[in-house]
Homo-oligomer: A and B are copies of this chain.
Amino acid sequence: MASDSRHRPVETVETAFDIVDVVKHTDGAGVTELAAELDLAKSTVHRHVKTLESRGILVREGDTYRISTWFLDYGIHVRNRHRLFDVAKPKVDELAAETDEKVWCVIEEHGMGVHIYGAEGRHSVKTHARIGQRTHLHQFAAGKAILAHLPEDRIESILDDYGLASQTERTITDREELQNNLETIREQGYAFNHEESVIGVHAVGAPIRNESGNAIGAISIAGPANRLRGDLLTDELPDLLLGATNEVEVNLAHS
């Protein structure tokens, strides 16, 4: 981290990815538009875009370039190769079938939570989460479950790096309050989310730990606040969840 200031990035590569980013966020753009947006010469953008196209990273549709499914190929590859995915997927499916709610498998990467797999129950809410989505760890149940089970210094550095941005009015934005919450989570072994990421949505999340006890991911069950409350939320679902995560941990250790 201290070497960050010393490290000078390859700017040509940065502009290439800047182009990809703009193309993604605009859902397709032309050379002129990209050049204007990124303050580059048209010829420069053109050369980059042609390079990316020849690699199959961008595809051309008339005069606009779009992100290609190259990313889907690589993305799914990443997911399938992740140690957790194979083991967790069947359990996530099971939980969704048993609870009829939305169940997510989340991993930690670079200090953020990444939703790598989600299973629908029959009544599952349309959460705003999407496969591949990155969310700040303090903003949701699975994330807090992960955060609580990381080494103390990593927790500090993550909170330092990203801060405590709010998602809803109920998101925990006070550092001390979060520390208390994490302590409770460690004691209980699971975390709750009371409308902290989406108003009207409650969730329970439990960590998946490796041999050294550090969380590498988590599983969460989410549903409407008026259905996920009382004993169901505080007892039944955590029980089910812990059963699943414990099993995943055991299977992980033997793989």
> Is residue A52 contacting chain B, with contact meaning CB distance below 8 A?
yes
Q: A155 vs B138: C-alpha distance in the bound complex, in angstroms?
A: 52
Contact call A73/B16, Cβ cutoff below 8 A: no
B71 in contact with A71 (CB, 8 Å): yes
A69-B75 CB under 8 A given contacts A10-B12, A57-B17: yes
Kindly supply a per-residue 1/0 record for chain A positions 118-143, scoring 1 wherever the CB is within 8 Å of any chain B CB and 0 otherwise: 00000000000011111000000000
Chain B: which residue is nearest A79 at the CB level?
B72
Copies in the complex: 2
Is the C-beta of A109 less than 8 angstroms from some C-beta in chain B? yes
Contacts of A24 on B, CB cut-off 8 Å? 74, 77
Q: A254 at the A/B interface (Cβ < 8 Å)?
A: no
Q: Is A152 an interface residue (CB 8 A)?
A: no
Q: Judging by beta carbons under 8 Å apart, are A109 and B14 in contact?
A: no
The number of residues on chain A lying at the interface, defined by a beta carbon within 8 Å of a beta carbon of chain B, is 48
| Closest chain B CB from A13 CB (angstroms) | 4
Contacts of A71 in B (CB 8 A): 71, 74-75, 77-78
Contact yes or no, A69 B7, CB < 8 A: no
Is A186 part of the binding interface, using a Cβ–Cβ cutoff of 8 Å? Answer: no
- Contact at A10–B48, with CB atoms within 8 Å? yes
With A and B bound together, what is the CA distance between A16 and B52 in angstroms? 11
- Which residues of chain A have a CB within 8 Å of any CB of chain B? 4, 7-10, 12-14, 16-17, 20, 24, 27, 47-48, 50-52, 54-57, 59, 66-69, 71-81, 107, 109-110, 114, 116, 130-134
